[in-house]
Chains A and B, each alone.
Chain A
């Protein structure tokens, strides 16, 4: 406990340097604006802005990326509330009551409640994270290759099985990601695989062009298809006074926020679940526990508080498996993991021992970032709203040019630019045909580590796959992973049986 506090203090000494504060601010501001753009969520924000962080110190880079991540998480709620157009899937539930509140002339209160509940959810989750992470990391120190392999399989199968409407398509997406990860020179033998004699492919396919294409370019094309009317933004009354929820609002929301925060944090830690599911469950719980469930959907203030505290708590919870185990559970954390690896850091339990300045600097910066976010929202919300009034065409054109230049700056090569455009094209069809992008990117990021840990395990066991079931932790993880594969089929069977019984 005391050790954790002194580590945290040390972290603050890293995070509160002027330059890191500046990066945090830039991250929060750009994240909020990108998150507010329809279609673009945290994963897009991270992918698009990632190249900017290459030239800077790793700790400053990750502080900025973390700022983009939770800035975008909040940003999604702005358009949800004001014009009924969620910026990303985690903000869908916020629109249900946020927009009716705007129609009632209470946009300010809804925006304020979204900001305060995000702040509370985020900050409480960071406190939980601060004390839980070191414990988990030290427990994970005993993990060997079989446990890591099992963990990665678990992360992939749960994400693939849970995102999207059709689990088959989720798994196809994950398998294609694994295939992309295979491309390039084999790490053990040096043999080229699927590189078609192209030198550029020898070093493998980078996850960044894929993420920028699938989450950036494809989403922009899709968002351009939809005509969004931003006119509603002009007339909202967002004076400073109006942003503070009333005492009655707080009375209705306080327990909702408390429950949503705890729930969000734990759901965020689970691989595959994440912020969207947390916001759905939190909203559902708030409605069930409410004395006035009939008001939900018509402008209940706690209908804004519930999803917003949960999705921010979940976004912090998602850092737990990423930093302590080195296994991300969502698209955004997969991109963060890829970024860490580009900085030359391998996320996982050793990170806490080898790079304490980095880990604790990041954790401390999350406290700072959350305070910064709420101050900015309260002080400059009208400015953010103004930023959204810039014609969407201009914003989209800027983002596309930014993506292409960012892709070039990865390796100073035009090949990455074309790769990004190509994945934008593929991503469009994936989205239209309902193949989720998250499993693809996660599998691509994890692919090489997955293959290495599998080979190491099998060398240890002399080629026997029994090793994955010979140790208790890896056995449990593998069983849950297989469960995640068959769960959709089992659920389907049960519901069919029920329907049959009901009709008899």
Chain B
């Protein structure tokens, strides 16, 4: 945790510098009219800089109790798979349409996440979920879904 706090602290500090510079490039103050568009960004940057310095300083104290790595291999694998497959499904929407892409995503996720894989559950998910989504969002709420090459 200590190292993670130092790294995030440094990243946030860098972000605050960027926000401050952008804030300064917009106008901070207008004569009598009070704050301009750059004022709040600049204020946010100053606060963020102070807080990230506090975070970094707190890791230097000796009594920093939290030790050890908070990230597990298993957890990161889950993160990459769930986020990655969601992005891929997003990209697939342009080709196969929303309904089919979500069916594929759900089918993949249920197979990947399940403790005991059952082909029946995976296929059931791929068929039933798109149908439910179609009924709720397309029919019920009239959301125009992108259609794919299959016309779905």
Contacts and interface: CB of A to CB of B under 8 A. Distances in A.
Given A168-B54, A394-B125, A433-B5, A193 B82 contact: no
A169 B102 CA distance: 35
Interface in A443-460: 451, 454-455, 458-459
Of all A-B residue pairs in the complex, the 4 with the closest CB atoms, nearest first, are A458-B34, A393-B113, A397-B109, A186-B37
A459 B32 CA distance: 8
A221 B78 contact: yes
A391 B87 CA distance: 24
| Chain B interface mostly | helix
Interface stretch (A115-123, A199-207, A245-253, A398-406): A398-406
A409 B98 CA distance: 11
Contacts of A463: 29, 32-35
B123 to A, nearest CB: 12
Contact of B86 (A166, A168, A394, A400): A400
Interface stretch (A172-180, A327-335, A379-387): A172-180
B19 A179 contact: yes
Interface in B131-149: 133, 136-137, 140-146
14 contacts: A54-B141, A168-B55, A178-B44, A179-B41, A179-B44, A194-B41, A221-B75, A224-B113, A400-B109, A404-B86, A405-B98, A414-B90, A432-B70, A433-B4
A235 interface: no
A296 interface: no
A424 B137 contact: no
A455 B34 contact: yes
Contacts of B40: 178, 182, 451, 454
Contacts of A17: none
Interface in A407-465: 408-409, 412, 414, 417-418, 421, 424-425, 428, 432-434, 451, 454-455, 458-459, 461-463
Given A392-B113, A424-B82, A428-B79, 8 more contacts: A193-B22, A194-B22, A224-B113, A401-B102, A408-B145, A409-B141, A421-B90, A432-B71
A503 interface: no
Given A175-B44, A393-B115, A405 B137 contact: yes
A188 interface: yes
Contacts of A461: 34
B93 interface: yes
B18 to A, nearest CB: 9
A404 B8 contact: no
Contacts of A221: 75, 78-79, 82-83
A224 B78 contact: yes
A290 interface: no
Nearest to B36: A189
Contact of B106 (A51, A400, A417): A400
Nearest to B5: A433
B79 to A, nearest CB: 5
Interface in A47-72: 51-52, 54-55
Contacts, number: 170
Interface string B1-30: 100110010001000000100100010010
Interface in A218-258: 220-222, 224-225, 227
A191 interface: yes
A397 B37 contact: no
A4 interface: no
Interface string A135-160: 00000000000000000000000000
A280 interface: no
B113 to A, nearest CB: 4
Given A194-B41, A424-B86, A394 B121 contact: yes
Contact of B110 (A397, A408, A424, A434): A397
Residue in A54, A166, A393, A454 whose Cβ sees the most chain B Cβ within 10 Å: A393
A220 B5 CA distance: 24
Contacts of B93: 414, 417
Contacts of A417: 90, 93
Contacts of A418: 87, 90
Contact of A175 (B36, B47, B137): B47
A481 to B, nearest CB: 13
Given A401-B129, A401-B133, A412-B143, A172 B78 contact: no
Residue with the highest number of chain A CB atoms closer than 10 Å, among B26, B83, B93, B129: B83
Contacts of A220: 82
Contacts of A176: 48
B110 A393 contact: yes
Interface in B100-135: 102, 105-107, 109-110, 112-115, 121, 125, 129, 133
A171 interface: yes
A169 B48 CA distance: 11
A99 B137 CA distance: 39
Contacts of A402: 133
B78 A225 contact: yes
Interface in B36-91: 36-37, 40-41, 44, 47-48, 51-52, 54-55, 58, 70-72, 74-75, 78-79, 82-83, 86-87, 89-90
B36 A405 contact: no
